[in-house]
Amino acid sequence: MKTVAVIVQHGFAPFEFGLACEAFGLDRSDDGIEPFDFRILAAEPGAISSNLGFSINVEHDLAFADEADLVVVTPIPREDWGRVDERVADVVRRAAARGAWLLSVCSGSFVLAAAGVLDGRRATTHWRYADVMASMYPAIDVDPDVLYVQADRIITSAGTAAGLDACLHLLRQELGAEMANIIARRMVVPPQRDGGQAQFIVAPLPIEASLSLAPVSDWMLQNLALDLTVDQLAARAHMSPRTFARRFKADFGATPAAWLGRQRIIHAQRLLEQSGLGLDRIAAESGFGSAAVLRQNFARTLGITPTAYRARFACTDEAQEAVVGAGSVTPELAPVA
């Protein structure tokens, strides 16, 4: 991914627009990350008004979107959901047809929906608008309970910060886990929140309850190689297994098993990028037990084999030597549902 186009329309939301600029528009070459050719586009260049009473001056029309590797669609006002600018919808259709990445933030998903590229696919938007989208576009499988959804090369995300999670998810696929973590550290945000985490918690736990699980989650991260069970973890938290599982899901937005599985994948990604360890050793250190189980979980989660991932993202001499030793590999990403 080299080129990024962000489309803004009148009534855009400044925060959601800004996070796309932060994720893809900054020059991070001092961190060893090649900058993207990043441009902000509008159907009619000039002053584009935000929903907070100020405007930005957009210099570029939509033409650049037809050559961009990624097209980002920012939110549009509710009154425009049923009358999406056909010029923007055409750009979206063409991007989908040629296999470019498409990413929408919050109600920007209504633009993708109007263009027809979400038909037959799972997608999300802000939970407050999910019922409206499902009613307007019954051909879309709208999931109101997740942060973001990737369907092939189309990513839809929920409101505000979930859009940043979606951007980091895409950057992780394009740049690798370590580079995405560097970007997250620069932003001072968590490097990974799974798309399947809940968008919101109706009744948040008291702070003291949330903090009580921090030592357990830290211990889990330090002991990924162990066969960890809910009973063991609950005992460390001095809770019953049922109470622990309920509080863990409330705090982390995922079951202990799902969260642990994702952390094991992330650890395996780092080892593939930075070490020359063989797959059996990486599987053991990540808690998967065997290379076969590692391959199965890696392919299901990331849509790529561990060997192909290493060939694409190896960033140390040891890891690159392991690539050479493994022979020729074509590191193509497969679609992830």
Per residue in 50-61, pLDDT (tens digit) is 999 999 999 999
> What are 130's two structure tokens?
């999910």
Percent of the chain with pLDDT strictly greater than 70? 90
Task: Specify burial of residue 60 (Cβ count, 10 A radius: 0-12, 13-18, 19+).
Answer: middle
- Rg of the chain over CA atoms, in angstroms? 21
Do 157 and 106 touch, CB atoms closer than 8 A? yes
> Of the ranges 241-250, 303-312, 327-336, which one carries the lowest mean pLDDT score?
327-336
Residue that the structure tokens 């290493």 belong to: 310
Which pLDDT belongs to residue 209? 47
Separation of first and last alpha carbons in the chain: 20
Better pLDDT: 284 or 189: 284
pLDDT tens per residue, range 283-309: 999 999 999 999 999 888 888 889 988
Strands 154-157 and 148-151: antiparallel
Q: Tell me the backbone φ, ψ of residue 223, rounded to 5 degrees.
A: -135, 40
Predicted confidence (pLDDT) at residue 326 exceeds the cutoff of 80: no
* DSSP tag of 64: G
CATH fold label, 3-187: Rossmann fold (3.40.50)
The β-bridge partners of 72 are 6, 103
Which pLDDT belongs to residue 79? 94
Long-range contacts made by residues 117-125, C-beta under 8 angstroms, separation at least 24?
117/92, 117/93, 117/154, 118/151, 118/154, 118/156, 121/151, 121/152, 121/154, 122/149, 122/151, 122/337, 123/149, 123/151, 123/154, 123/156, 124/148, 124/149, 124/156, 124/157, 124/158, 125/156, 125/158, 125/159
Give residue 5's Cα distance to chain centre.
Answer: 18
pTM: 0.72
Predicted confidence (pLDDT) at residue 29 exceeds the cutoff of 60: yes
3-state secondary structure 196-227: CCCCCCCCCCCHHHHHHCHHHHHHHHHCCCCC
Long-range contacts made by residues 139-144, C-beta under 8 angstroms, separation at least 24?
140/113, 144/199
Give yes or no: 106 in active site: yes
Q: How many CB atoms lie within 10 A of CB 59?
A: 10
Write down the domain spans for the chain. 3-187, 207-253, 258-326
CA distances from 43 to 38, 113, 159, 174, 285 (A): 17, 18, 24, 28, 51
Which pLDDT belongs to residue 202? 41
- Angle of the 177-187 helix axis to the 161-175 helix axis, nearest 10: 150
Superfamily of domain 258-326: Homeodomain-like (1.10.10.60)
> What are 285's two structure tokens?
């250190």
pLDDT confidence of 333, banded at 50, 70, 90?
very low
Predicted confidence (pLDDT) at residue 141 exceeds the cutoff of 70: yes
pLDDT confidence of 334, banded at 50, 70, 90?
very low
Which pLDDT belongs to residue 187? 81
Q: How many CB atoms lie within 10 A of CB 227?
A: 8
pLDDT tens per residue, range 70-122: 999 999 999 999 999 999 999 999 999 999 999 999 999 999 999 999 999 99
Predicted confidence (pLDDT) at residue 140 exceeds the cutoff of 80: yes
> What are 230's two structure tokens?
């809910």
Do 318 and 306 touch, CB atoms closer than 8 A? no
Domain 3-187 matches domain 258-326 at the CATH topology level: no
Say how far apart CA 48 and CA 11 lie, in whole Å. Answer: 8
Catalytic-labelled residue, pool 21, 106, 167, 315: 106
